[in-house]
Structure 1
Amino acid sequence: MNSSPAIRKVFQGVASRQQMFRMFDRHAHRLNRWEGDATPLYAGEWFEIGEAEHDYMFEILRPLWIRGSLFAMREYLTGSVTGVFFALRIDEAIRFFHGYCDLSDQSSVEAMRVAIIERESRPIRAMTREERLEHIWSSTADDYRGYAGERWPQALRGKRTVMLYGGKGGTFLKLLEDLSDDEIAAKLPVQLRHRPSPIAA
């Protein structure tokens, strides 16, 4: 059994229904979509949704299983990865989340539940660099994000890219992971630009 990929928050704030459906397949336009194992792309991703979206997904299709305040989607996204919906009490309020869990790992659902509670219980809503990059990817329209293709060096092909505006030089593509702090700030919504970074332990 392979260990599950890192659990990671991929969107800041509460996703609308439209945003939720869009993020269900954030990697739909990847190169060679039908080749290889896509489990590492999806397993571990999570984001917050509203109560209405949570209830809608519960009613749209009979769940694969229900465990207390959690339920799993009957349809698998890829391999043994499916969407799990959480209703969690955090700071005396019930909040709702969607995450992709690899059900071949029996600990994946509980690990995600614990990670979400730990992340959302922070007194300051700090954002790591990785969370900033994931939010940019999640919120950028498909026309302005993509994957490095044949024009890129072999070692970079398949990596995520975003389009940036270069002033008089026009627009250009850059690897998501290579964005500078200033470029990240420019791509984030105003309310997220000045959030602190977590202090390293």
Structure 2
Amino acid sequence: MNSASPIRKILQGVATRADMFRLFDRHKQRPDRFEGDKSALYAGEWFEIAQQQCDYMLDLLPPLWIRGEMFAMREFMAGSVTSVFFTLRIDNRTRHFHTYCDLADKGSPDRMRAAIIERESRPVKAMSREERLEHIWSATHDDYRGYAGERWPVSDRGKRTVLLYGGKEGTFLKLLEQLTDVEIAAKLPVQLRHLPERQAA
């Protein structure tokens, strides 16, 4: 997998069916959507789904291939990046995951599998700052997130933004990557706010 596309968990918890379809293209609002190869945006993303969603996707179209506990969709998201679904036994529980793997790199599905097992086998729940930001981006409705446009400094254009509530000042946009710890906590659901911080892998 391209080094510009690290393996990353983009949603905490198990995605609903509606969440799954929305997360398939969580970058659809980007201003340059139809320009160039955007494989790096997708490659490496993963999140957990329910068995029903995994079964539905397996039955939807004949898969590109099936290898043991994983199968790949024959429709590609971008370039050589496509959905690879996993059914994994982790800590005596069967769990299901949607991932985006770059099939131009033959080892990417196996590395994805290893990364998911390593991340989900930890006994203590924790989230890195990057995971918190990805969860916020994934969970925020399209109307409240976007990309920095022409009114932003040139160096910030195209970066992800989220709408924040500023009290008496009203709402304002801020770059996702510049959210403070307090702003991150306010955007996370209550059950995730106080999880310990883990170092990014």
Residue number in structure 1 paired with 2:30: 30
Once the two structures are superposed, the pairs formed by residues 1-201 of structure 1 within 5 Å of their partners are: 2-3=2-3, 5-198=5-198
Cα shift at 1:2: 4.8
TM-score by length of 1: 0.97
Q: Tell me the amino acid that sits aligned with residue 183 of structure 1.
A: E
Distance 2:71 2:4 in 1: 19
Q: Tell me the amino acid that sits aligned with residue 164 of structure 2.
A: L
Change (3 A) 1:158 1:200: closer
Q: Tell me the amino acid that sits aligned with residue 11 of structure 2.
A: F
Contact 1:10 1:135 in 2 (8 A): yes
Cα shift at 1:199: 5.5
Among the aligned pairs, what percent are the same residue? Answer: 69
Distance 2:135 2:198 in 1: 16
Structure 2, unmatched stretches of 5+, are none
Q: Tell me the amino acid that sits aligned with residue 92 of structure 2.
A: E
Contact 2:2 2:40 in 1 (8 A): no
Report the number of matched residues.
201
SS in 1 for 2:74: coil
TM-score by length of 2: 0.97
Cα shift at 1:198: 1.7
Structure 1, unmatched stretches of 5+, are none
Over the residues paired in the alignment, what is the CA RMSD in angstroms? 1.4
Contact 1:4 1:105 in 2 (8 A): no
Contact 1:87 1:97 in 2 (8 A): yes
